[in-house]
């Protein structure tokens, strides 16, 4: 044999091999992506062992004013739902500015998951009498890695206010944003 | 279509023929077409050895395989107690024959691909889109994306951190106009998604008249991309003040990202603290593709 194969087969995303085999690797000319065949269920995916990067992004440009003094309330436009792949890791990053005023107290910004559980929390306090009781700070969330189950996942932002006024302050430049990214494998893929 | 039969009798370690053994035949390095009519060769169905330990497969002749030089691989799935899995590589001649008579030495062993081995200074002279190389001096596996983009990692995944600045001295201002606190530069590729992360400890001292410190991520020309403020209704504070920015996917060429600070309202001295153990961090990360590359 004198032929040495030096590259994956070159295809497009619409003209992939009709009879692929497990582990087959192709280069897609239209997407520029290298894909590996993981069987009939997973199909063609990027190489399993690396982080695939951004899955989804959203941003909020209008201020949300907290209104419920007793219960957590959703921040409109700050919820992300996706179909997770089994054994992939996902991380959600959130950036925002939170404000509290009008009382010696505090407000909370939280992340909740699809099971109705708060998974992370940030507090904004006003605790100095006579100074206007109006405070703002930039904050971020970076979740623990969320292991894909093959089912739908949700991460959403909620707020909790007990006293005074609170808001997630937003504008064209003071954005609240949420980024979902694939951070790599949690376990080997299920090959079929 | 020109085909021939290849056969073999599977035996265990004692030379005894073994019936009922699963036998898988496929092509190396991968699926092939027929040279004569361009049709694709279908996957070869699994075989099972008969009562005499024999398997036989009617296969396309090697001379009609496209790409030329493709050959066959057979795996005989013997139990461990019978010797374990046996793998052979063979060609199919113009006449029926035995596996033993048609064995070949594979050039790529059990792997599918062997990238062209180069260094970062000796790339292939006449590459084609999709060509894969391995650079021995950098350890990178790269693909050719045409004359404009050149050699890059797989476009479909995140490439990770590409620039970082750690400022280890305090960065403060008393002015109401933004000033620089940190700068990081990188070469952007159109269609990639860049994330900017800022981690730092905000500070205010000597504040008066409703003091608030402003923080921004800007581009190299000082255009504000995102901005926030820290205001604790106090004359002084220290607090965690992180920021994020999500790139447009349109950045290209030499790009800078800055952290800039100002007194947004009131008076005082505000900004970020910086030290060897608590630096102001400005980090740029490639988070994967925003759109497909333009392959030229």
pLDDT at residue B106, as a whole number: 65
The whole-chain average pLDDT of chain B stands at 92
DSSP-assigned beta bridge partners for residue A166: A100
Q: Which of B202, B185, B201, B217 is nearest to B277 (CA)?
A: B201
| C-alpha to C-alpha distance for B71 and B29, rounded to whole angstroms | 8
Q: What is the pLDDT of residues B23-36, one digit of tens each?
A: 999 998 788 999 88
The reply to whether residue B108 touches residue A2, judged by beta carbons under 8 angstroms, is: no
- Nearest-Cα distance to chain B for A152, in Å, is 22
Beta strand pairing call for B54-60 and B3-9: antiparallel
pLDDT at residue A5, as a whole number: 55
Q: Which residue of A has its CA nearest to B217?
A: A173
The reply to whether residue B287 touches residue A30, judged by beta carbons under 8 angstroms, is: no
pLDDT at residue B67, as a whole number: 84
pLDDT at residue B202, as a whole number: 97
Structure tokens at B199: 């981690």
Q: Which of B86, B93, B17, B88 is nearest to B61 (CA)?
A: B93
pLDDT at residue B107, as a whole number: 55
Contacts of B222 (CB under 8 A, 6+ apart): B178, B258, B260
Measure CB to CB from residue B26 to each of A21, A35, A97 and give the nearest one: A21
| C-alpha to C-alpha distance for B289 and B163, rounded to whole angstroms | 17
* Cα separations in angstroms, A39 against A189, A190, B98, B221: 10, 8, 32, 49
- Nearest-Cα distance to chain B for A106, in Å, is 12
Contact B286, B162 (CB under 8 A): yes
- Nearest-Cα distance to chain A for B228, in Å, is 6
Express the helix, strand and coil content of chain B in percent, nearest 5 each: 5, 50, 45
| C-alpha to C-alpha distance for A70 and A120, rounded to whole angstroms | 19
Contact B144, B134 (CB under 8 A): no
Contact list in B for residue A24 (CB cut-off 8 A) is: 30-31, 112
pLDDT at residue B115, as a whole number: 75
Measure CB to CB from residue B233 to each of A31, A128, A140 and give the nearest one: A128
* For range B5-19, the mean pLDDT: 93
* Cα separations in angstroms, B106 against A1, A12, A135, B169, B199: 7, 29, 71, 60, 53
Q: What is the pLDDT of residues B63-108, one digit of tens each?
A: 898 887 788 999 898 887 888 888 898 999 999 999 999 988 765 4
Contact B250, B187 (CB under 8 A): no
- Nearest-Cα distance to chain B for A73, in Å, is 23
pLDDT category at B110 given cuts 50, 70, 90 is very low
Residue A18 backbone phi and psi in degrees, to 5: -80, -20
pLDDT at residue A6, as a whole number: 58
Structure tokens at A59: 């941003």
pLDDT at residue A43, as a whole number: 94
* Cα separations in angstroms, A136 against A52, A139, B156: 35, 10, 39
Measure CB to CB from residue A8 to each of B68, B113, B229 and give the nearest one: B113
The reply to whether residue B107 touches residue A1, judged by beta carbons under 8 angstroms, is: yes
* For range B140-165, the mean pLDDT: 95
Contact A95, A75 (CB under 8 A): no
Residue B194 belongs to what H/E stretch?
strand B192-199
Mutate to test the interface with A, among B130, B224, B295 (most CBs of A within 10 A): B130
**pLDDT tens-digit profile, chain A (192 residues):** 333 455 678 889 998 887 787 778 899 999 999 999 898 999 999 999 999 999 999 999 999 999 988 899 999 999 999 999 999 999 999 999 999 998 888 899 999 999 999 999 999 988 765 555 789 999 999 999 999 999 999 999 999 998 889 999 999 999 999 999 999 999 989 887
Residue A28 backbone phi and psi in degrees, to 5: -95, 120
The interface predicted TM-score (ipTM) is 0.90
Q: What is the pLDDT of residues B215-274, one digit of tens each?
A: 999 999 999 999 999 998 889 999 999 999 999 999 999 999 999 999 999 999 999 999
Mutate to test the interface with B, among A9, A61, A137, A182 (most CBs of B within 10 A): A137
Measure CB to CB from residue A174 to each of B115, B202, B228 and give the nearest one: B228
Mutate to test the interface with A, among B194, B284, B288 (most CBs of A within 10 A): B288
pLDDT at residue B82, as a whole number: 85
Contact list in B for residue A21 (CB cut-off 8 A) is: 26, 30-31, 43
| C-alpha to C-alpha distance for B112 and B203, rounded to whole angstroms | 57
């Amino acid at each position: 044999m004198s032929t040495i194969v030096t590259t994956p087969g070159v295809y497009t995303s619409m003209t992939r091999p009709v009879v692929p085999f497990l582990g087959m690797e192709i280069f897609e000319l239209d997407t520029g992506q290298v894909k590996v065949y993981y069987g009939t269920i997973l199909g063609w995916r990027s190489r399993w062992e690396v982080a695939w990067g951004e899955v989804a992004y959203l941003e909020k440009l209008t201020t949300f004013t907290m209104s419920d003094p007793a219960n957590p309330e959703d921040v409109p436009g700050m919820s992300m739902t996706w179909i997770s792949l089994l054994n992939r890791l996902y991380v959600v990053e959130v950036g925002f500015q939170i404000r509290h005023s009008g009382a010696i107290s505090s407000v909370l910004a939280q992340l909740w998951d699809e099971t109705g559980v708060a998974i992370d929390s940030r507090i904004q306090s006003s605790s100095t009498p006579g100074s206007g009781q109006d405070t703002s700070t930039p904050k971020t969330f970076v979740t623990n890695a969320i292991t894909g189950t093959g089912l739908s996942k949700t991460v959403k932002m909620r707020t909790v206010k007990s006293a005074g006024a609170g808001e997630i302050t937003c504008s064209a430049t003071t954005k609240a944003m949420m980024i979902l990214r694939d951070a790599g494998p949690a376990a080997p893929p299920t090959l079929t | 279509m020109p085909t021939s039969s290849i056969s073999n009798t599977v035996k265990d370690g004692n030379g005894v023929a073994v019936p009922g053994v699963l036998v898988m035949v496929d092509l190396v390095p991968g699926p092939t077409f027929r040279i004569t009519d361009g049709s694709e060769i279908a996957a070869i169905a699994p075989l099972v050895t008969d009562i005499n330990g024999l398997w036989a497969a009617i296969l396309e002749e090697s001379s009609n395989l496209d790409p030329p030089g493709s050959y066959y691989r057979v795996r005989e799935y013997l139990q461990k107690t019978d010797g374990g899995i046996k793998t052979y590589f063979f060609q199919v001649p113009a006449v029926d024959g035995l596996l033993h008579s048609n064995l070949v030495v594979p050039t790529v062993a059990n792997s599918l691909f062997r990238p062209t081995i180069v260094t970062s200074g000796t790339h292939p002279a006449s590459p084609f889109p999709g060509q894969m190389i391995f650079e021995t001096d950098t350890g990178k596996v790269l693909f050719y994306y045409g004359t404009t983009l050149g050699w890059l990692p797989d476009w479909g995944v995140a490439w990770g951190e590409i620039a970082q600045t750690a400022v280890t001295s305090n960065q403060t201002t008393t002015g109401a106009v933004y000033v620089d606190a940190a700068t990081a530069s990188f070469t952007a590729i159109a269609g990639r998604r860049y994330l900017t992360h800022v981690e730092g400890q905000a500070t205010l001292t000597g504040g008066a008249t409703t003091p608030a410190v402003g923080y921004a991520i800007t581009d190299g020309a000082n255009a504000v991309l995102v901005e926030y403020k820290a205001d604790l209704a106090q004359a002084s504070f220290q607090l965690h003040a992180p920021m994020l920015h999500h790139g447009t996917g349109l950045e290209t060429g030499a790009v800078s990202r800055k952290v800039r600070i100002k007194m947004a309202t009131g008076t005082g001295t505000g900004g970020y603290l910086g030290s060897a153990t608590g630096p102001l961090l400005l980090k740029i990360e490639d988070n994967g593709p925003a759109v497909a590359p333009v392959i030229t």
